[in-house]
Structure 1
Amino acid sequence: MLERVCRVLEYKKMKEQLIQHVASSLGRQKVEELLPSNHLEEVIHWQNGTFEGAKVLRLKGQAQLGGIRDIRMSVKRSQIGGMLQATELLDIASTIYGGRRFKKFIETMVFEEEVQLPILAELVEQIEPLTDVEREIKQAIDDHGHVLDSASPTLRTIRHQIRSFEASIRSKLESYTRSSSKQKMLSDAIITIRNDRYVIPVKQEYRTSFGGIVHDQSSSGATLFIEPQAVVTINNQLREAKAKEKQEIEKILRELSEAVAVEGEALIQNVKMLAEIDFIFAKALYSKEIKGSQPKLNDRGYIQIRKGRHPLIPADEVVPIDVELGHDYTSIIITGPNTGGKTVTLKTIGLLTLMAQSGIQIPAEEESEMAVFSSIFADIGDEQSIEQSLSTFSSHMVNIIEILKNVDHNSLVLFDELGAGTDPTEGAALAIAILDDVYQRGARVVATTHYSELKGYAYNHKGAINASVEFDVKTLRPTYRLLIGVPGKSNAFAISKRLGLDNNIIDKAKSQISSETNKVEKMIASLEENQKTATNEREEAIKLRKEAEKLREELISQLNALEEEKAKLLEEAEEKATEAIGKAKAEAESIIKELRKIQKENPNIKEHELIDAKKRLEQAEPKLTKKKKSPIKNTKQHELKPGDEVKVMTFGQKGHIVEKINDKEYQVQIGIMKMKVAVTDLEFIDRPKPIEKKPLATVRGSHANHVKMELDLRGERYEDAMLLVEKYLDDATLAGHPQVSIIHGKGTGALRNGVQQLLKKHRNVKGIRYGGMNEGGLGVTVVELK
């Protein structure tokens, strides 16, 4: 039964396509022996193996399976004591090498590249490297199947003797062919071989001139092939050496055959594994050719084929079909005209089921699902038996009777033109009875028919559904699209009208049809139109959804990129700010140490004043976070002035305006740190009321003794001089000096200009002037302190 089903579903033709992808006769044999399995676990294992093969092809582009041969007969002959020929031994060495190379190929993917290939990894684990046997064969036999001189010392010596004898013979014979006196006795000045002995062609009348042995003559008898007496002895020696060579070669081959026999079981095991591997990659390559996918598998009798294609129909001609069976309904009744594609649909469902159960990926979209049936039955096509004198109807009934004997709940049954070939009324009734019987047994059924009665059966019968193959009345051609849920309608009137049949005849024909039939046809037309509209809308919705998903992924990708860039910029800014703050803190600590030193020298300074000073310094340190920046408030509504309290948004810290640099920038002091800040980065907080300055009487008295009234900068570097001026002004202010002098000299004027620029901006300086005639002139700047 299975053999017949495979034949009518063209399973063998599918295997002929598959066999084109094998790498060796081992894989070919596996394909030829291939039959579907009805065991779910086995089918899943087969499918997983094909999936792994497809994964390797996808990642590497190919599988390294060259050089593999079917060496099982040679190995078995060696095991029973037979001597293998050099070519057989060469095939064995090639197969050992091919197996070892593929083993390394898969192990590299699994262990180094961490690709999940459990089935292939298990197969290659059982392949023995057998490097010793391969090496022995390769050292003794070259790539052309000739035993090498190096195969043994004895063979090397013998072949040296053979070459020496041959050279001696040729030398003597060439003396004849080159001699002017001898050439006239020869038919041709050449040396040839007869009976494995070197001879020269001599004219019949000169046969006695050379002596020796006649080995052959030409067809005319005018030429004799003579071995001259001068080379007979050497020829004999050459022949003996060649006999020894043959014996030594046989000895070498026998020793190699014995080495093969020792590893015979391992070699047979290697071949078995390589045959399975070749078969897996043949299925994977075939899947790539037909654009196949691995289906989900179940044993519940549920089939869902998405855009399934018949693998034997050319890709540019095949029309994909969608089929679902075994969930809401277990029977599909396909109706419609001939040549509409009903039989192709039936064969597609059957062949894809056989392929899935053979471990072959099916030509359908991802997420398709196939059931593993215990039995598949098919009655397809006109198989009239001339020998048995059976009609078409009888032939079909013989098949159907055999099917009904064996069908069960785990069967898939395919009926083509069920009930055809007999009276339509009886045929329709018989078809309904057969469908009922198969349905009662729980089998899955797909049937095609012409009978309109079966449309009503599918419509009214629970567990059955109508289907049809779409027909384009405008082009008078079928589209081959399967429409589930829509029964096929007769297009006879429409086709006749398009072909030019008189309208009167068509109207008269229509009047012969009952009103119930017309209602059914109108219902079918409405259903078909609704189905077509729903299908189009569904395809459009799927297209729009895919576009939306693609757009969403692109937006998410862009957003992530922006977030990463933002985080990177914030991190860089924070690193720079942290570095600046570190320097500021170090300077602040230095000031605190100086204040403590002053306190030791002047007990009038209170401890809490020092604590307050340090607290203010600590508050000057920005608290950096990676949170989003708050939107910057507009500062244009406040005309910022020196002394205004502001917030620097970049650092989130408060400070006060020192001075306006230009319309876009201000100098801001945060604690002891001064910096240029863009106006857009400032938030106005408050403008404090002017307060009276309290005299620093507590420290002036005693500190004045330690601060001189002048600071001499001559000889100092510019940067060091600026730091000395800053510190000196603070000390002078604390000492209560109303006026001090800074000696910078005249020189190039760079130090003088730098000092004066610093003094003009310093918070404790009230005014500056150059020294008078008795004060140093332009080499001194007199500073008036606040």
Structure 2
Amino acid sequence: MNEKVLETLEYGKIKQQLAGFLTTDRGNELLDNLRPSADFKVVNDRLNETADGADIVRLKGEIPIPKLSEISPYMKRLRIEEASLSGTELAHITKLLRAVQIVSAFFDDLKAEEVNLRIITGIVDKLTLMPTVTKRMMTSVDDDGRVLDSASSELRAIRKSISRTQTDIRTKMGKFIKGSDAKYLSEPIITVRDDRFVLPIRADYKQNFGGIVHDQSASGQTLYVEPSNVVEMNNQLRRDQLAERAEVRRILGELTNLLRPYRNELMTNMNLVGQLDFVNAKAKYAHQTGSIQPRISKDNVVNLRKARHPMIDRDKVVANDIEIGDKYSTIIVTGPNTGGKTITMKTIGLLQLMGQSGLFITANEDSQIGAFDEVFADIGDEQSIEANLSTFSSHMDNIISMLDKISNNSLVLLDELGAGTDPKEGAALAMAIIDAIHATGCELIATTHYPELKAFAYNRSGIINASMEFDVNTLRPTYRFLMGIPGQSNALNIAQKLGFPKQIIDNARSFTDSKNQDINNMIAELTAQTKRAHDEADQLQKQLAESTKLHQELTNQFNKYQAQRDRLTEQAQEKANRVVEEAKQQADKIIADLHQKQKQIGKVAIKENELIDAKGELNKLEVAPNLKKNKVLTKEKEKHNFHTGDDVLVKSYGQQGTLIGKEKNGTWDVQIGILKMKIDEADIEKIAADKQSKPQYQTHVSRTRSSGISPTLDLRGHRYEEAMFELDRYIDSALLAGYPSVTIIHGKGTGALRKGVTDYLKRNKRVKSFGYSAPNAGGDGSTIVKF
């Protein structure tokens, strides 16, 4: 891909945003080298790799990769047999070894959870685990490169001796500070000179204070003296410090030799962790911008749905549908300036470059991109002072260089084609250039304000008009892309809206020929029709979304009902079988007893076949798959045959209530005392008439103790509708449990779940107050509710 188009479409700004999500030097290197690819398989693999990362971000937050520095210079030094790495260098390698261990364990967990990934597992499988080396390095060097006491028993003993000696020295010297000799000191402190502990003595008292002078102050008024009674202790300290340095050098050499045979494995691991870091960054960037994975067309058919420029605020940008490469390969966007033509063209080009780089694009699901061999763009005022070229000449120079390189697999973007010269000649030249580029079979989007190109596009096969919508009432562009409609001249309409006298407007209209007026009228009518069609399409889309949502809810409820029915059937069957088994055991006991009595009293024997027949009758009670006549099952089913007005037991609360009505989502409205609650059908059980008088509830104290309701509700990972349903149930449960306050964890994320929780709490009259948690307890990721 040519570098000029990357600069023109501001591809580098996308890479700058991506860099903020990287944590490794190797990941940054991969980002620096990132370029769009024209190979269909490469683009597809890159996008699937990003899709793996997006799945991980959605499920786990991210791949746990720490900040890692580049280790390749250290690996070069390892080739030299006598070379030894420093503690800092070994610490960087240790971080890599630990990161490989953490990442491998992370993906083992994903595998155990049966998370299906497409590409990224191939990267992880190439990682080389070195558990023995990793353990040795982690117990020898800390993150700052300091050799730990656990690196060797000798080092631990030396450092203990150093610490003990330093304590003894400070104890002895402390007596000078607190004793009668304190008057000789300039300051009551212990300091260090030449690695030896000394005291600051006033120079005029030197004769009264024995010891070795190591230094003096700039004024000469203070001498730094080592008292004679700590000289030998300082000597011992010095010997221990030298021994410590020697042992540290030995350990660093030993660790270097330990790593030397694994140079290739370490470099491979660095590369692979860098790739994972890059995948992480692409996925997190996609999550932040609300991007999706586009489909790729081998025929370079581009179909962007609600595409938006990634550098413009999502709350302000106008999303547009853009299609090219199927019914038409050239789009001519006409109309006045400041209508959004240029930004729309840049959006198409930049999203195409992002997609071919393996990045998700800012558009709606089912959007499609091509795999172009080249993208050319001539956009903006590029007057060249150095080359002594005007704006017109500069644009022509760019287009001439494009014409030599364009193929039928290219995408060409030309802004304000033919501008900067005589209007008639400029329009003629623009039409000739469009004809020449269109003949190559490539895909072309050109913007112009020349009205002559409207009729030109209308009369050419494979070429279509387009424009940007303008609201004459507000005198503002809407930035809405209108396919199939040429741009309309709004000068006279705007002048009339601004208050020009009608006579002047009418006079101006008389100067325009009837043909232009007819064209403008036709465009105005087409614009109105298209607007109505768009509005109707938006309304239908909204209705379709609501219908889809309702269908999903009904499907979920039906599946829940099926699961509940099967579970109840199984429970009833098990219960019935237990009853029959108990009866059989009792019957066997009775028969055995009869045999025993027969032997004792010697009466007429009971015929064996009669006993067998009696036992056979009992065996017939065994529950078969057809349970329609089973009394146990019938009784169990009756408990769950609910009707409005039935008295029921809410099992999770241990409360008796009355059914008011059933909701569409399958839950029941239940009146429990003064509270009206929404309860899932699986959580209620009908109360028999003879048991209704018996209370099924407990006191508030015992309910709070036994209900098992947590004072915290975690909604993270839930869909919005599911979360709101869970929140409603939980608040009711918390009230019944007698909690004075609870905590709702909703996370930060996009903010939708947090807003939903806030809106619900505002509406709930039982909530006294609520607010975000303290910064050290989750901040705005959780809300504390007081009743």
- Answering whether residue 219 of structure 2 is matched by residue 245 of structure 1, we say no
Alignment match, 2:409? 410
The equivalent of 2:25 in structure 1 is 25
Question: CA 1:184/1:440 → structure 2, altered by over 3 Å: closer, same or farther?
Answer: same
Any idea what SS the aligned residue of 2:291 has?
coil
Change (3 A) 1:175 1:553: closer
In 2, the alpha carbon distance for the partners of 1:234 and 1:548 equals 87
Aligned twin of 1:446:
445
Give 2:97's aligned residue.
Answer: 96
- Contact 1:107-1:121 at 8 Å conserved across structures: no
Taking a change above 3 Å as real, the CA distance of residues 176 and 541 of structure 1, as seen in their structure-2 partners, is closer
Code of the aligned partner of 1:286: Y
Work out the CA distance in 2 between the residues paired with 1:217 and 1:128: 58
Q: C-alpha displacement at 1:534, in angstroms?
A: 1.9
Deviates more, 1:529-538 or 1:540-549: 540-549
Deviation at 1:115, TM superposition (A): 1.9
Moved more, 229-238 or 354-363: 229-238
SS of residue matched to 1:386: coil
Give the Cα separation in 1 of the matches to 2:628 and 2:472: 65
The alpha-carbon deviation at position 438 of structure 1 amounts to: 0.8
Whether the 8 Å CA contact 1:299–1:373 is kept in 2: the answer is no
Any residues of structure 2 matched to 1:669-680 within 5 Å, and which? none
Q: In the alignment, which residue of structure 2 is the partner of 1:510?
A: 509
Deviates more, 1:136-145 or 1:348-357: 136-145
Cα gap change, 1:457/1:231 in structure 2, threshold over 3 Å: closer, same or farther? same
- Superposed CA deviations along residues 213-248 of structure 1, whole A, max 9, x for unmatched, are 432222221111123444444433432332221111
**Tell me, what secondary structure is at the counterpart of 2:92?**
helix
Answer with 164-173 or 247-256: which moved more: 164-173
CA deviation after TM superposition for structure 1 residue 196, in Å: 1.3
Q: 1:424 maps to what in 2? A: 423
Q: Which whole-Å CA distance do the structure 2 matches of 1:86 and 1:527 have between them?
A: 74
Aligned 8 A contact 1:459 1:465 in 2? yes
Partner of 2:366 in structure 1? Answer: 367
Amino acid at match of 1:318: V
- Name the residue aligned to 2:73: 73
Uncovered stretches (5+) of structure 2, i.e. residues with no partner: 584-620, 635-787
2:293 paired residue number: 294
Task: Determine the structure 2 residue equivalent to 1:49.
Answer: 49
Give yes or no for contact 1:384–1:391 (8 Å, CA) kept in 2: yes
* Cα distance in 1 for residues equivalent to 2:421 and 2:480: 29
Report the residue type matching 1:105 in the other structure. Answer: F
Conserved? CA contact 1:471–1:478, under 8 Å: yes
Distance 2:412 2:63 in 1: 39
Distance of aligned partners of 1:565 and 1:171 in 2 relative to their CA distance in 1, 3 Å threshold: closer
Paired AA for residue 512 in structure 1: F
Per the alignment, residue 323 of structure 2 pairs with: 324
Give the whole-Å Cα distance in 1 for the aligned partners of 2:87 and 2:563: 67
Q: Deviations over 1:361-411 (max 9, x none)?
A: 111111111001111110001111222232111111121111112111111
Which residue number in structure 1 is paired with residue 658 of structure 2? none
Cα distance change on mapping 1:187 and 1:557 into 2, 3 Å: closer
User: Which has the higher mean CA deviation after the structures are superposed, 27-36 or 70-79?
Assistant: 70-79
Shift of the 491–159 alpha-carbon distance from structure 1 to 2, 3 Å rule, reads: same
What pairs with 1:321-400 in structure 2 (closer than 5 Å)?
Answer: 321-400=320-399
Q: How far apart in 2 are the matches of 1:550 and 1:93?
A: 51
Preserved contact between residue 67 and residue 95 of structure 1 (Cα < 8 Å)? no
Match of 2:270 in 1: 271
Q: Per the alignment, do residues 230 and 267 of structure 1 end up closer, same or farther by CA in structure 2, a change over 3 Å counting?
A: same
Residue 545 of structure 1, CA deviation: 3.6
Q: After superposition, where does 1:519-558 map in structure 2 within 5 Å?
A: 519-552=518-551
Is the partner of 1:140 in helix, strand or coil? coil
Q: Which moved more, 1:319-328 or 1:402-411?
A: 402-411
Determine helix, strand or coil for the equivalent of 2:139: helix
Partner of 2:108: 107
The 5 A counterparts of 1:113-132 are 113-132=113-132
Report Cα offsets for 1:32-67 as digits up to 9, x if no partner: 321111111111000000001111122223322235
Q: 1:694-705 maps to which residues of 2 (within 5 A)?
A: none
Equivalence for 1:10: 10
* Kept in 1: contact 2:92–2:143 (CA 8 A): no
Q: Is the 8 A contact 1:100 1:128 kept in 2?
A: no
Amino acid at match of 2:45: H
Q: How does 1:128-207 map to 2 (within 5 A)?
A: 128-180=128-180, 182-207=181-206
Report if the CA contact (8 A) 2:301-2:325 is conserved: yes
Amino acid at match of 1:483: L
Q: Sort the Cα spacing of 1:109 and 1:446 in 2 relative to 1 into closer, same or farther, 3 A.
A: same
1:461 alignment partner, SS class: coil
Paired position in structure 1 for 2:62: 62
Greater shift, 55-64 or 307-316, is seen at 55-64
2:432 matched residue in structure 1:
433
What is the CA-CA distance between 1:335 and the residue it aligns to? Answer: 0.9
1: distance between equivalents of 2:49 and 2:234?
Answer: 63
User: Paired residue for 2:235?
Assistant: 236
CA distance in 2, matches of 1:339, 1:192: 73
Matches of 1:50 and 1:283, distance apart in 2 = 6
* 1:666 aligned residue: none
Mapped pair 1:285 → 2:313: no
Question: What's the CA shift for 1:179?
Answer: 3.4
Distance 1:558 1:242, change over 3 A: closer
Root-mean-square deviation (CA, aligned residues, Å) is: 3.1
| 1:714-764 superposed Cα distances (whole Å, 9 cap, x missing partner) | xxxxxxxxxxxxxxxxxxxxxxxxxxxxxxxxxxxxxxxxxxxxxxxxxxx
- 2:38 matched to 1:35? no
CA distance in 2, matches of 1:554, 1:252: 65
- Choose 520-529 or 335-344, whichever is displaced more: 520-529
Mean alpha-carbon deviation: is it higher for 1-10 or for 295-304?
A: 1-10
Instruction: State the alpha-carbon separation in 2 of the partners of residues 100 and 151 from structure 1.
Output: 20
What letter matches 1:119 in structure 2?
I
CA distance in 2, matches of 1:419, 1:310: 26
Q: How many residues align?
A: 587
Contact 1:68 1:99 in 2 (8 A): no
Larger-gyration structure (1/2)? 1
Bigger drift between 122-131 and 28-37 goes to: 28-37
Contact 2:184 2:209 in 1 (8 A): no
How far apart are 1:544 and its partner, in Å? 3.3
What is the one-letter code of the residue matched to 2:4? R
**What 5-or-longer segments of structure 1 have no aligned partner?**
584-620, 630-649, 651-786
Alpha-carbon distance in structure 2 between the residues aligned to 1:556 and 1:190? 80
SS of the counterpart of 2:173? Answer: helix
Change (3 A) 1:284 1:173: same
* Structure 1 residue 144 displacement after superposition: 4.9
Distance verdict in 2 for CA 1:421–1:67, change over 3 Å: closer
Cα deviation for residue 561 of structure 1 reads: 7.2
Identity of paired residues, percent?
Answer: 44
CA separation of 1:86 and 1:346: change in aligned 2, threshold 3 A = same
- SS of match in other structure, 1:263: helix
In 1: Cα distance, 2:409 partner to 2:269 partner: 38
1:453 positional shift: 0.9
CA displacement, residues 192-211 of structure 1 (integer Å, 9 cap, x when unaligned): 11121221111122234445
In 2: Cα distance, 1:132 partner to 1:553 partner: 52
Aligned partner of residue 78 in structure 2, secondary structure? helix
Aligned-pair CA distance for 1:94: 2.3
Counterpart of 1:51 in 2: which secondary structure?
helix
- Residues 569 and 115 of structure 1, relative CA distance in 2, 3 Å threshold: closer
Native 8 Å contact 2:62 2:280 kept in 1 = no
Aligned 8 A contact 2:22 2:28 in 1: yes
TM-score in terms of structure 1 length:
0.70
Call closer, same or farther: CA 1:302–1:146 in 2, change over 3 Å.
same
SS at match of 1:21: coil
How many Å apart are 1:559 and its aligned residue? 6.7
Which residue identity does 2:297 align to in structure 1? N
